Amino acid sequence: MKENKQKIALPGDALAVSEEFLPGKNAYDYDGMVRALLMGNVVRDLSQREVSVKPVSIARTPSVGDIVTGQVEAAQTNSANMKIYYLNGVPTQGGFAGSLLLREDRRGGRGIRRTQVKLGDIVRAKVVSTMNAIIQLSISEPHMGVIATLCSNCGRPLSRADGRARCNECGNVEERKFADDFGREPIQP
């Protein structure tokens, strides 16, 4: 049984008496008290007699050079809109949206555009501009790109296969601009 009182603790705050609770994540035992290591929500696990701190997600605005991870909400030919869920690997509750610029990639032949991202893809991208409060993103670097995607055919997660992604369920093969660690588990935002 977990109890979450939504109480915010500051670093060093006493969360419980050491005799009654053990320090869980982001908590430590000092001077007979379990204390918070960092700022966050206090979570008491009564069955384990453990108290821990869940870090508060950050709400600062993304700036140039930041790495964001989010989901594609709309994809056009030259751009895609992305809802941002992680900023430099930390969950964000800022509700930010970014615009992903898709450079033309004609490797597939003259005039043929390769699909770089699709609706619903989980993408890691770099912030390249925040001019006019528009967060512009790029996936041109090797570590940027799609990190998780589902089969357009049957909806199962796709796995890596020679620069493409293959569905182990139905055999469907799809192309994207993948991040270099696509297919690795667990997914790192």
- Does residue 158 bind Zn ion (CB under 5 A)? no
Tokens of 82: 């992305």
- Does residue 172 bind Zn ion (CB under 5 A)? yes
- What is the x/- site pattern for Zn ion, positions 113-152, by CB under 5 A? --------------------------------------x-
- Does residue 154 bind Zn ion (CB under 5 A)? yes
Give the span between the Cα atoms of 24 and 41, in whole angstroms: 13
- Does residue 159 bind Zn ion (CB under 5 A)? no
- Does residue 161 bind Zn ion (CB under 5 A)? no
- Does residue 165 bind Zn ion (CB under 5 A)? no
Contact between 137 and 63 under an 8 Å Cβ cutoff? The reply is no
Give the span between the Cα atoms of 3 and 68, in whole angstroms: 31
Minimum CB distance to Zn ion, residue 159 (Å): 11
Task: For Zn ion, give the closer residue by CB, 72 or 151.
Answer: 151
Minimum CB distance to Zn ion, residue 168 (Å): 8
- Does residue 102 bind Zn ion (CB under 5 A)? no
Contact between 166 and 182 under an 8 Å Cβ cutoff? The reply is no
Give the span between the Cα atoms of 117 and 178, in whole angstroms: 9
CA R_g for the chain = 21
Task: For Zn ion, give the closer residue by CB, 94 or 183.
Answer: 183
Give the span between the Cα atoms of 156 and 150, in whole angstroms: 5
Tell which residue, 62, 79, 81, 63, has the closest CA to residue 71.
81
Task: For Zn ion, give the closer residue by CB, 71 or 153.
Answer: 153
Contacting positions for Zn ion (CB under 5 A): 151, 153-154, 167, 169-170, 172
